[in-house]
Structure 1
Amino acid sequence: MHKFDPANHKRLNSEERYRIMPPELLIDEIEKTAEANLKSGEAVTIADVGCGSGFFSLSIMKRFQDKNILLFALDVSDEMLGIFNNNLRNEVGGKNFSKVKSFKCEESFLPLADNSVNILLLANVFHEIEDKSNYLQEIKRVLKNEGTFFLVDWKKEDLNPVMGPPAGERVSTEEAVDILKKANFKDIKSLPLYSASFTLVSRKGD
C-alpha cells in the first residue's frame, strides 16, 4: 500500500498541485456547509485529517480568519505536523493561531472526542487506509449528529495522472460511494470540483 513519504513534502504545496487542485474550490463548499451554524452564532469545528503541510488547512484558516471556528489538524507523521505548524505560523499566525489544534493520529484512531466535529475533511488519504470500513466508523464516532464528511482522493479513472499514487492503488469514485453507503453515510453527493480527483460529500448516518 502506497504511503506518502514526508521527504517529498514540498510536492504537497507545489505550483502543479495548486493548478490541478485549487483549494479554494473545496473551501467554497466547506463554507456553504458551515454557513448555517455561523449565522446562528455557534462555533464550527472542522477537522482536516491527513493535513500534511497544510494545503487545505491553511486555506481554511485564511477564509475563516474572522469567523468563530476551531480547526483540528491531524497527521500520522510528527515530521509533517512540524512542517504544518511552521507553515501556520508563517502564513496565518496572530490571533488565528489559537484557533488551530494539531494532533498526531493513528490510522485506526483519531484523538478527538465523540461527537465533537461539525465538518471533517479527508483529502488524498483514503487510498492509503488499509481497513477503510473501520476507519469510516472512527470518522463517524468523532462527527456530530448530521455532521458533514468531505472525501477527496485521486481518481482511479484518471488515465494520465501527473500526481498521486499508482493507478492500481487508487479508489474509483464508484468504489468510494459504495464504501460510504456500507458505512451508513447518507446524502452522498459527488461534486465536480477537480479533474484529477473525486470529491464526495456526505452526512453522518446511524
Structure 2
Amino acid sequence: MPGHIFDPRHAHRLDEPERLRLLPPDVIVELLHLTGSETVVDYGAGTGAFTLPVARALPHGRVVAVDLSQELLAKLREKLDPELAEHIELVHTVTNEIPLADAAADVVLGVNVLHEIADQAKALAEIRRVLKPGGRFVCVDWTANDRPVGPPRAHMLTLPDARSLLEAVGLEVKEMREPGGRLPYHYVVVGAAP
C-alpha cells in the first residue's frame, strides 16, 4: 500500500528546475480555476513550490499551507515576502488533519501527496470535511506507468485507483486527465464535495 513520508533532507529537490519543468506552477494554478477570493488549502505544501504561485493568484483570498514537516514549512516561511505573507497561513500537522472548520475551503490542492499518505481514506475524508459544498479537491500525482523520473512505481497509485479513493469518501469525480502535454508524468483527478 502506498504511503511513505517525504524526507525533509531532500527539500532542495522540491524547488529544482527540472521538477518545476515537469510540474509547471502555472499549469497547477490553471487547474484550480481561481477567481481571486477563494480559500485554498495546499495539502502537503512542502517548501511552497505551488503555495506561492497560488497565493499570487488570490489577491483577495488566502492559502492555508499544511505539511507534516516543520523543516519544510520553515523553508517556505523563508520565501515569504510581506505582501504574500498576508495571504498565506503556515500550518504544521502531525496527523494529516487540516485545522479548519467544516466547509471552510473552496479548493484543496494536493500535488504528489496522495501516494505519500499511509491512511489515504482518512486523509481524503478530512479533505472532504473542509471543502465547501461544490468545493474541489485537485489531486496531481505521479503516474504508475513507466517513466524515466520520479519515485518508484511501487509507491504510486493508478488514476483509476485515485478515482476510487475519492469516490469512496463521497467526492464526485468531475475531471480525470492522463499524463500528457505539460504534465508528462502526472495524472490529474478532480473531485467535488456534494
**TM-score normalised by the chain length of structure 1:** 0.86
Displacement of 1:133 in angstroms is: 1.2
Displacement of 1:96 in angstroms is: 2.6
Partner of residue 44, structure 1: 38
Please, what is the CA RMSD of the aligned residues? Answer: 1.5
- The 1-side partners of 2:164 and 2:148 are apart by 23
Partner of residue 63, structure 1: 57
2:30 is aligned with 1:28: yes
2:1 is aligned with 1:7: no
Mapping of residues 1-206 of structure 1, within 5 Å = 1-30=3-32, 32=33, 34-35=34-35, 38=36, 43-64=37-58, 67-88=59-80, 93-157=81-145, 159-163=146-150, 165-191=151-177, 194-205=183-194
Secondary structure in 1 aligned to 2:31? helix
Q: Count matched residues.
A: 189
- Contact 1:136/1:183 (8 A) holds in 2: yes
**TM-score normalised by the chain length of structure 2:** 0.91
- Contact 2:31/2:138 (8 A) holds in 1: no
- Contact 2:166/2:173 (8 A) holds in 1: no
When residues 48 and 181 of structure 1 are mapped into structure 2, their CA distance, relative to the original with a 3 A threshold, is same
Q: Which structure has the highest helix share of the two?
A: 1
- Contact 1:9/1:53 (8 A) holds in 2: yes
> Which 5+ residue runs of structure 1 have no aligned equivalent?
none
Identity of aligned residues (%): 29
Displacement of 1:45 in angstroms is: 0.4
- The 2-side partners of 1:171 and 1:138 are apart by 19
